Chains A and B, each alone.
Chain A
Amino acid sequence: DTAVSQTPKYLVTQMGNDKSIKCEQNLGHDTMYWYKQDSKKFLKIMFSYNNKELIINETVPNRFSPKSPDKAHLNLHINSLELGDSAVYFCASSHNGQGTYEQYFGPGTRLTVT
């Protein structure tokens, strides 16, 4: 029983391409997140959705666009990929969006831009 799943696990692509990462949670949680983990292991929040509504949009380029078709799914679309986008992207979910409940992370998507 996978709680938070992401696809694909690995993504290798060239600069300038557009790609998407999908995330699904089966925990019945209201809130979902996207984090970026760079090569120094720093975990940084990118977006947060609560019941399909965007509640956090940190300073990320507008080439990154999250989409939440329902509260169990939060996908991340990236346009015009750049070398600096190479990182591991983690999806997560929690009971609510106040940062005061455990966050369950997906397995991560390792994006490599060449």
Chain B
Amino acid sequence: GENVEQHPSTLSVQEGDSAVIKCTYSDSASNYFPWYKQELGKRPQLIIDIRSNVGEKKDQRIAVTLNKTAKHFSLHITETQPEDSAVYFCAAPSGYALNFGKGTSLLVTP
């Protein structure tokens, strides 16, 4: 099955700085790469996703890049705000479900 590795496990940035979270996957046939955000005590929610026919996708302050050759994809958050503090999960399809990375706990300090 798909193996998804996520780094770093924790990330602390100052408000206004950028944050980057990276994931690698093992199955070269994977074609869908979502990112989920989980605030403390809440459910995971999709924030952005990318399919394998594009290399980058942006939505306001967040962007995802995909390098299919290297089998890695990254989440970029610019102009971070305290409300961006949460656990972020990358994922890739594995059979009939998603295989999630182990999560990155992002802390944005004012």
* A contact residues vs B (CB 8 Å cutoff): 31, 33, 40-45, 48, 50, 55-56, 90, 97-100, 102-103, 105-108
* B contact residues vs A (CB 8 Å cutoff): 31-32, 34, 38, 42-46, 49, 51, 87, 89, 92-100, 102-103, 105
Whether A98 contacts B49 in the complex (CB less than 8 A), given A90-B43, A105-B43, A105-B44, comes out as no
- Which of A44, A50, A106 contacts B96 (CB under 8 A)? A50
Candidate in B49, B92, B95 with the most chain A CB atoms within 10 angstroms: B95
Q: What are 23 residue pairs bridging A and B, where the CB atoms are less than 8 Å apart in the complex?
A: A31-B96, A33-B97, A40-B102, A42-B100, A42-B102, A43-B100, A45-B94, A45-B98, A55-B96, A56-B97, A97-B97, A98-B96, A99-B94, A99-B95, A100-B31, A100-B51, A102-B34, A102-B49, A103-B98, A105-B43, A105-B44, A105-B45, A107-B42
- B32 to chain A: which residues have CB within 8 Å? 99-100
Please state if A41 and B103 are interface contacts (CB–CB under 8 Å): yes
Please state if A43 and B103 are interface contacts (CB–CB under 8 Å): yes
Please state if A108 and B43 are interface contacts (CB–CB under 8 Å): yes
User: Nearest Cβ in chain A — how far from B22, in angstroms?
Assistant: 18
Chain B binding surface SS class: strand
- B95 to chain A: which residues have CB within 8 Å? 55-56, 99
Please state if A45 and B97 are interface contacts (CB–CB under 8 Å): yes
- A103 to chain B: which residues have CB within 8 Å? 34, 46, 98
Residue of B nearest to A103 (CB): B98
- B98 to chain A: which residues have CB within 8 Å? 45, 99, 103
Please state if B46 and A97 are interface contacts (CB–CB under 8 Å): no
In the complex the two chains form, what is the Cα distance from A103 to B94 in whole Å?
Answer: 14
User: Nearest Cβ in chain B — how far from A19, in angstroms?
Assistant: 20
Please state if A42 and B103 are interface contacts (CB–CB under 8 Å): yes
Please state if A102 and B46 are interface contacts (CB–CB under 8 Å): yes
Please state if A48 and B46 are interface contacts (CB–CB under 8 Å): no
Residue of A nearest to B99 (CB): A45
- Which of B34, B46, B89 contacts A43 (CB under 8 A)? B89
